[in-house]
Amino acid sequence: MKILITGGAGFIGTNFTYYYFDKHPEAEIVILDKLTYAGTRENLDPLSDDPRFKFEQIDIIDKDAVFALFARERFDTVVNFAAESHVDRSIHEPSVFVMTNVVGTHNLLDASMQFGVKRYHQISTDEVYGDLGDNSTDLFREDSPLKPSSPYSSSKAAADLVCHAYHRTYGLPVTVSRCSNNYGPYQYPEKLIPYFYFLASKGEKVPVYGDGGNIRDWIYVDDHCEAVDIIIDCGKPGEIYNIGGNCEKTNLEITREILDYVGQGEMEFVEDRRGHDRRYAIDNRKMEREFGWKPKMPFADGLKKTFQWYDLNQEWLNQKS
């Protein structure tokens, strides 16, 4: 069995690559990554000499290169982690997000259809559902309407719709998962947890948007990887699966936990992000009902493991920051 993992040198892709490599000793793994600022080839160096592992530096918007790879390798499974994913960057450079997240996904779907891929899995985000708002007790379900707020989430929602069109129109065996905020090793320090840890560890001020009351659901990256693996094996083509951590926290709560761990630094409230969604929360009961899956890692334990990894990989952190 041969699997293509796109974006496999990025944060979640790297973690999934190691997870899949260990869990499926029979599988051949090919990584496709453009190696943007957020993807690092060295993340996967321990696998470089293994005959089951290949790495291809390709941009998914390059259709000719994508098709040549599919023709040469003949994949059974494709998992698409490749994406531009930082909301602030999408506000300033929306066209980059449309090209990678929409056009790039379309190229992968076209190649998967032409070369007989048996399962295409799209990694999406809870941000496609939009904002639950203040004082809401609602949760995002798989049938919740799509109301994306940023160029990033809009591009991911568009990609999801193209995926479903390829299943409905052409019969391509597609599944989509929408996950809440991930944290863990290898995360590029533009995202909240590694960025705030990096600043606090240097004794610098940590910039908190608005009043810090924005709520997100958090999941440790290994729990996400396990859920995706289950969906690839057992998910029904054409279905959406929400993956959540059952761990809602405000940005203020997260910041305080980081500062407490580091033992220094202070908060600085800054102007809020444009179009900043107030609350996301995932209903992952479909994953539990159909597969018996639940997130395992308690937030405090996952945060400790994450910071221990950064403590042991200061050179990696400093190169990225």
Concerning whether 126 is annotated as a catalytic residue, the answer is yes
Spot the catalytic one: 33, 59, 84, 126.
Answer: 126
Q: At what angle do helices 63-73 and 105-114 cross, to 10 degrees?
A: 30
In 10 A of CB 171, how many CB atoms? 11
Give the Å distances, CA to CA, from 69 to 54, 122, 141, 304. 12, 19, 36, 39
Give the Å distances, CA to CA, from 157 to 51, 93, 195, 225. 37, 17, 26, 21
Spot the catalytic one: 152, 183, 188, 197.
Answer: 152
In 10 A of CB 109, how many CB atoms? 24
Concerning whether 134 is annotated as a catalytic residue, the answer is no
Spot the catalytic one: 33, 59, 84, 127.
Answer: 127
Give me the torsion for CA of 225, 228, 232, 234, rounded to 10°.
Answer: 110
Concerning whether 152 is annotated as a catalytic residue, the answer is yes
Give the Cα separation of 203 and 212 in Å (integer). 20
Looking at the annotation, which residues are catalytic? 126-127, 152
